[in-house]
Structure 1
Amino acid sequence: MTTAQAQELDDCWNRIGVAGDHSCARLQQAIHCRNCPVYAGAAQHNLQRPLPPDYRREWAEYFRRPAQEGMRHDASCVVFRIGVEWLSLPTPLFLQVAPQAQPHRLPHRAAHGLAGIVNVGGKLYPCVSLAALMGIDERDTLERSGHHIFPRLLLVRMENETYALPVAELHGIERYRSEDMLAPAATINKGLTRYLAGVLPLREMQIGCLDAGLLAHQLARTLR
């Protein structure tokens, strides 16, 4: 905004409004300056001001610059936690994140890892425990101060079948470079290691990237 335009803008909220001495007669009715039409009008005036001469050129040059080689991300995953293990699956596999629900056991079905069926949005889905499949102790947990942790159900689509996977915590989507993936450490439990395509270091976390093909095969076996 130019000096002349700034002078045209009467910032009364800084003088007699909530940021000033509260002497404005409108405050009794508006309670706060953001509810006042004068404040709204000033915002419109600010948004409708003419663009600086070089504004479009500068932003066009900024977005025209190629991304730095070290910053190019070619893959993304959804990161979640089971027990103390941070795990991930490729983002395209996910259909929905739902609140945790109690699975109902299926009669005459005792496949390892199959917890039963769950109702999500009026539809029934097979619920499979990754903790049981991979030998993860769900009683182990992480101490995370300042965070509200909510268990979730992750609906994933694999080989034309949708599964509900219970997790202790959902971190979210992360983008990364495929070349940053490392080989699994020898200290990871053997039940989990066989399902890992690699490990992705991300800030304070070591994320186990699950082999989607192998996991899909194992999930299908639980329904046979």
Structure 2
Amino acid sequence: MRHESGANPASNPASDPVANPVSVAGAVPIVDCWNRIGVSGDQSCDKLVRHVHCRNCEVYSAAAQRNLQRPVSQQYREEWAGRLREPAPARAPSEMSSLVFRIGREWLALPTGICASVAPLVPSHRLPHRGGRGLLGIVNVGGRLLPAITLGALLGIDEHDTAAESGRHTFARLLVVEWDGQQFALPVADVRGIVRHGAGQLRAPAATVNKGAQPFIGGVLTDGALQIGVLDAALVGPQLEGLLR
């Protein structure tokens, strides 16, 4: 601490860090010199030249240790003992995870186990003498040529029947999935993200679900205001594979 030449530090209460200690009930008083001569005070402490900030000073560290070691009141102990005795709230098991995406107006999901990546949407190139239901051609995804397949045609969903969502930007993407060692690029209108859920959270598809998609949906998951049709990978995978034959 900075003092006048010839002055006795102990005789100057304003410059003595222990002159005005902060008392903590039931604990050793804490010297809050940082509030008087430190960075929160008049900054006259000579330790600031070396430490720059009070948090780097051993006095500040020692005060923090004393504060953490202060006695705990009986009321505080009883309050937390009561909280810890309360049973934990039951949670639905979340042993499954699915990637949620949109085709047209339909929100669907596929198990994350078969989802390899999400890539920017790029134009597909038609294959000579190949086409038919669902097969768009091939696309370049990260330097790899993958078959592009539209799930909308496979599931009987109108991909052009769509509405912009309020409050968030939407971007069409390519969802790359893998089945039996073969990867497929699926154009989707939007990717929402991954949702975790348990098998018990899936409900049977309602009668209003798209008739073409209904045979491939293992259940319907509610996530906020969304009703998501969780596709059965064991049913969708062979259909994708069959389009290449």
Range of TM-score over shorter length: 0.7 to 0.9
When residues 215 and 44 of structure 1 are mapped into structure 2, their CA distance, relative to the original with a 3 A threshold, is: farther
For the residues of structure 2 that align with 1:5 and 1:80, how far apart are their CA atoms? 59
Q: Is the aligned partner of 1:167 residue 2:181? A: no
Please tell me whether the aligned partners of residues 111 and 223 of structure 1 are also in contact (alpha carbons under 8 angstroms): no
For the residues of structure 2 that align with 1:169 and 1:157, how far apart are their CA atoms? 19
Give 1:175's aligned amino acid. Answer: R
Following superposition of structure 1 onto structure 2, how do residues 71-110 of structure 1 map, counting pairs within 5 Å? 71-110=92-131
Instruction: Please list the CA deviations of residues 145-188 of structure 1 after superposition, one character each: whole Å capped at 9, or x if unmatched.
Output: 22111111111111111111111000000011210100001111
RMSD (Å) for aligned C-alpha atoms: 3.2
Does the residue aligned with 2:164 lie in a helix, a strand or coil?
A: coil
TM-score (norm 1): 0.74
User: Which residue is equivalent to 1:30?
Assistant: none
Following superposition of structure 1 onto structure 2, how do residues 1-224 of structure 1 map, counting pairs within 5 Å? 4=30, 8=34, 50=65, 52=68, 68-224=89-245
Does the residue aligned with 1:132 lie in a helix, a strand or coil?
A: helix
Aligned residues: 190
Instruction: Please list the CA deviations of residues 123-165 of structure 1 after superposition, one character each: whole Å capped at 9, or x if unmatched.
Output: 1111110011111111122332221111111111111111111
Per the TM alignment, residue 44 of structure 1 is displaced from its structure 2 partner at its CA by 7.0
Identity of aligned residues (%): 43
When residues 202 and 8 of structure 1 are mapped into structure 2, their CA distance, relative to the original with a 3 A threshold, is: same
Please tell me whether the aligned partners of residues 98 and 195 of structure 2 are also in contact (alpha carbons under 8 angstroms): yes
Does the residue aligned with 1:179 lie in a helix, a strand or coil?
A: helix
For the residues of structure 2 that align with 1:47 and 1:223, how far apart are their CA atoms? 69
Report which of the two structures shows the higher radius of gyration computed on alpha carbons.
2
For the residues of structure 2 that align with 1:47 and 1:198, how far apart are their CA atoms? 57
Does the residue aligned with 1:214 lie in a helix, a strand or coil?
A: helix
Per the TM alignment, residue 95 of structure 1 is displaced from its structure 2 partner at its CA by 1.3
For the residues of structure 1 that align with 2:125 and 2:199, how far apart are their CA atoms? 39
For the residues of structure 1 that align with 2:182 and 2:105, how far apart are their CA atoms? 28
TM-score (norm 2): 0.68
Does the residue aligned with 2:235 lie in a helix, a strand or coil?
A: helix
Give 1:121's aligned amino acid. Answer: G
Give 1:129's aligned amino acid. Answer: T
User: Which residue is equivalent to 1:28?
Assistant: none
When residues 6 and 91 of structure 1 are mapped into structure 2, their CA distance, relative to the original with a 3 A threshold, is: farther
When residues 98 and 11 of structure 1 are mapped into structure 2, their CA distance, relative to the original with a 3 A threshold, is: farther
Give 1:202's aligned amino acid. Answer: D
**Gap regions ≥5 residues in structure 1:** 16-36, 55-61
Which one scores higher on RCO, CA 8 angstroms, separation ≥ 6? 1
When residues 105 and 73 of structure 1 are mapped into structure 2, their CA distance, relative to the original with a 3 A threshold, is: same
Per the TM alignment, residue 8 of structure 1 is displaced from its structure 2 partner at its CA by 2.7
**Gap regions ≥5 residues in structure 2:** 1-22, 25-29, 42-50, 71-82
